[in-house]
Structure 1
Amino acid sequence: MRYEVVLPAAGSGKRMGAGQNKLFLKLLEKPILIHTLEVFEQDTNCTGIWLAVRPEERPLIEEMLTQYGITKVKGLPAGGEERQHSVHSCMKEMEQVDIVLVHDAARPFITHDIIANLVQSAHDHGAAIAGVRAKDTMKKVRDGIIEETVDRESLWMIQTPQAFRFKLIYEAEDVAEKVGFLGTDEAMLVERLGHAVHIVESSYENVKMTTKEDLVFGEAILRQRG
């Protein structure tokens, strides 16, 4: 089942402490951004990639796309101050498609099988997100003091991609923009419309490159995959 994907790529990467866009950092001699793009470049069901970028970084990214043979990028609109703004910036330039995925550009280890499950679930239900079950004991804390131990059986750690029917996510983004609401992810915007969001079980390998320690994990995953 066909889809297009939006990748917000205009972040600063402050938590990485790299002094540059963390997407340009390399895992086994290849930029994180390229590792992620190659997943969708190699997926025959992906018909287009949209990258929200900083205008000053656009020439470098265009050079990287050429260098690594990434051909599915349809547009590189300017990203906004927040992830939500970057996603909406891309969607405003897209032609209507059946299914849209939003994916963290710093999550290079998502697999085609999980993507296919998400696309199918979004087609069937309207909205679906990737996640994994919480493994650790979870506690609710206030002012440094534990208030309660939370039953982890009902808790999931949410990842991306998040998949939606085009009209649904466009409406959710548009409504949020009009009222000035800023969500933590796209699913939250859809939830505000009263629409159910389904979860698709993902992999613990689908980690986001956020800190320097994550780079170590990332290279280990790449080596294990060969």
Structure 2
Amino acid sequence: MKEYALIVAGGKGTRIKSKTPKQFLELEGLPVLMHTILAFYRYSESIQIILVLPADDFATWESLCAQYGFYKPVVLQQGGDTRFQSVKNGLEKIEGDGLVAIHDGVRPLVHEDIIGASFRLAAVHQSAVAAVRLKESIRITDQDTTKAMDRSRFRLIQTPQTFQVGMIRRAYAQKEDDTLTDDASVAERAGHSISLFEGSYENIKITTPEDLVVAAALLKSRKDGYKKDKS
């Protein structure tokens, strides 16, 4: 099947306390978003990437590509006011059927093995959503009371969230509401079962200044590992 990656990058950098949108912040020599795109090209040079950005960020992206000599092919699409609308717009750029991995632009540490697993599983189950087990104890709160919960029953959801194109496109035809927080919830609301697979704790979403520090350390560690493998 034809494979697509729909990368959504509409953040504004509010929680990271930066005037520069977080997807454009430099991380180990490249903007965060470029690391994300390169991860998908490491998985496959034939993948088609659709990059969804706010219209006001198109010029910034083109300027950064020239500055860093980054010329990997992507199809640009204008985002919407919400993530739901941005993904829906991105899906319009896909002609025909296939599989699409929908991914946060600020998850630059996704590994090609995770991407590959998502496509293989989605080809069988129509959906494949990366998730990891909780490490900490959790409690549910109800006003003034709390209750311990069995953490083994819960998962932290990541991206990529990969789907058969026709299925997720039809799911996004439904009416948007605030409870549809990711692509899996959109597909589930449309009546589809969601298949989870094991993600990675390294596949962090850059949201706060601390996340940038952690991401830089992980990227440096990977680069050092690649050097050792080649030596």
Q: So what's the TM-score if we normalise by structure 1?
A: 0.92
Per-residue deviation, residues 138-192 of structure 1 (Å, max 9, x unmatched) = 110123531x1111111111000000000110011012xxx33341000001111
Match of 1:193 in 2: 190
Gaps of 5+ in 2: 224-231
Contact 1:10 1:52 in 2 (8 A): yes
Match of 1:71 in 2: 72
- Name the CA distance, whole Å, in 1 between partners of 2:209 and 2:84: 25
- Name the CA distance, whole Å, in 2 between partners of 1:158 and 1:173: 19
Alpha-carbon offset, residue 90 of structure 1 = 1.0
Cα separation, partners in 2 of 1:43 and 1:63, compared to 1, 3 Å: farther
Match of 1:181 in 2: 177
The yes-or-no answer on 1:157 pairing with 2:153 is: no
Match of 2:116 in 1: 116
SS in structure 2 opposite 1:15? coil
Match of 2:228 in 1: none
- Name the CA distance, whole Å, in 2 between partners of 1:158 and 1:46: 27
Query: After the TM superposition, which residues 134-145 of structure 1 pair with which residues of structure 2 at under 5 Å, given as runs?
Result: 134-143=134-143, 145=145
- Name the CA distance, whole Å, in 2 between partners of 1:83 and 1:165: 19
Cα separation, partners in 2 of 1:60 and 1:150, compared to 1, 3 Å: same
Question: Partner amino acid for 1:112?
Answer: E
- Name the CA distance, whole Å, in 1 between partners of 2:187 and 2:61: 31
SS in structure 1 opposite 2:15? helix
Question: Partner amino acid for 1:188?
Answer: S
- Name the CA distance, whole Å, in 2 between partners of 1:44 and 1:220: 25
Superposition RMSD on alpha carbons, in Å?
Answer: 1.6
Cα separation, partners in 2 of 1:108 and 1:191, compared to 1, 3 Å: same
Per-residue deviation, residues 17-70 of structure 1 (Å, max 9, x unmatched) = 101211111112211111111111222265211111121210221233354433
Cα separation, partners in 2 of 1:167 and 1:33, compared to 1, 3 Å: same
Match of 1:25 in 2: 25
Match of 1:126 in 2: 126
Contact 2:40 2:115 in 1 (8 A): no
- Name the CA distance, whole Å, in 1 between partners of 2:165 and 2:176: 21
Match of 2:208 in 1: 211
Question: Partner amino acid for 1:209?
Answer: I
Cα separation, partners in 2 of 1:157 and 1:164, compared to 1, 3 Å: same
SS in structure 1 opposite 2:207? coil
Per-residue deviation, residues 173-223 of structure 1 (Å, max 9, x unmatched) = 012xxx333410000011112211111101100001100000110111011
Alpha-carbon offset, residue 84 of structure 1 = 1.0
SS in structure 1 opposite 2:156? strand
Match of 2:170 in 1: 171
Q: How many residues align?
A: 221
Contact 1:5 1:46 in 2 (8 A): no
- Name the CA distance, whole Å, in 1 between partners of 2:23 and 2:182: 19
